[in-house]
Structure 1
Amino acid sequence: MNLNQVTVPSLNVAKSVAFYKTLGLKLIVFTHSKYTRFECPDGDATFSIHQVERLSDNSGIMVYFEEQNLDETVEYLINKGMEFNQLPTDRSWLWREAQLNDPDGNRIILYHAGKNRKNPPRRLA
């Protein structure tokens, strides 16, 4: 099994498209203002947005994008006007993470984990 894509809700797909293009995702589907899909610049996963009439309360949606050059990317995005809730921070689970919200409040975590992404010291045998 392989993860194909993650889809997040949005009240304004066009506004979200601008946000995710700034993050570096490549727009590959935009057939109408209610749905769009991106390719991630690395790997084979896709990411999509669909329009909703109302966002659910406290959805808990968190989307993680791995970035090899996290600190440089965050600095670049700040210079593009993006606001971060958390600047790059080393976490106890051996990932380095920065956090921001997309226009609809979905939590976006840019991170670098290296080998610890799939093979952390606590991985089950």
Structure 2
Amino acid sequence: MNLNQVTVPSLNVEQSVSFYKKLGLKLIVEALPRYARFECLEGDATFSVHLVDSLLSGEGVIVYFETERLDEEVKRLIEAGISFDELPTDQSYLWREARLRDPDGNRIILFYGGVNRKNPPWRIN
């Protein structure tokens, strides 16, 4: 199996489109007001947003986007007006992460895991 795409809910897809374009995703389907789909600039996965009547409560899904230029990307996004819950921080599991939320409160983590993304020292062989 290969991961094709992840879809998150939104109360305002147009507002989400603006946010995810600032994040750096490439808009490839724009079916406003109900749906939008993006390509990631690296790899083959896509990401979409769909209109819902109400958002789920609780923690929900966490979406991770990886970039080798994490600190530079965070700086660029702050300059573009994006707020972060947590600036880039080295984690005990050997990833560096920055945490934020999209306009609907969906949790987004920008990170760099390098070789440890799929091959941490504790990987099961």
TM-score tier (shorter) = over 0.9
Structure 1 runs (4+) deviating above 2 angstroms are none
Q: RMSD of the TM alignment (CA)?
A: 0.7
Match of 1:111 in 2: 111
Match of 2:53 in 1: 53
How far apart, in 1, do the equivalents of 2:33 and 2:103 lie?
Answer: 15
Deviation at 1:58, TM superposition (A): 1.1
- Any idea what SS the aligned residue of 1:83 has? coil
Match of 2:77 in 1: 77
CA contact under 8 A between 2:14 and 2:32: conserved in structure 1?
Answer: no
TM-score by length of 2: 0.98
What is the percentage of aligned positions where both structures have the same residue? 64
Q: Could you list the runs of 5+ residues in structure 1 that have no partner in the other structure?
A: none
The number of residues matched between the two structures is: 125
Q: Could you list the runs of 5+ residues in structure 2 that have no partner in the other structure?
A: none
Deviation at 1:59, TM superposition (A): 4.1
Is 1:90 the counterpart of 2:72 in the alignment? Answer: no
- Any idea what SS the aligned residue of 1:43 has? coil
How far apart, in 2, do the equivalents of 1:36 and 1:73 lie?
Answer: 23
TM-score by length of 1: 0.98
Q: What amino acid does structure 2 have at the position aligned with 1:75? A: K
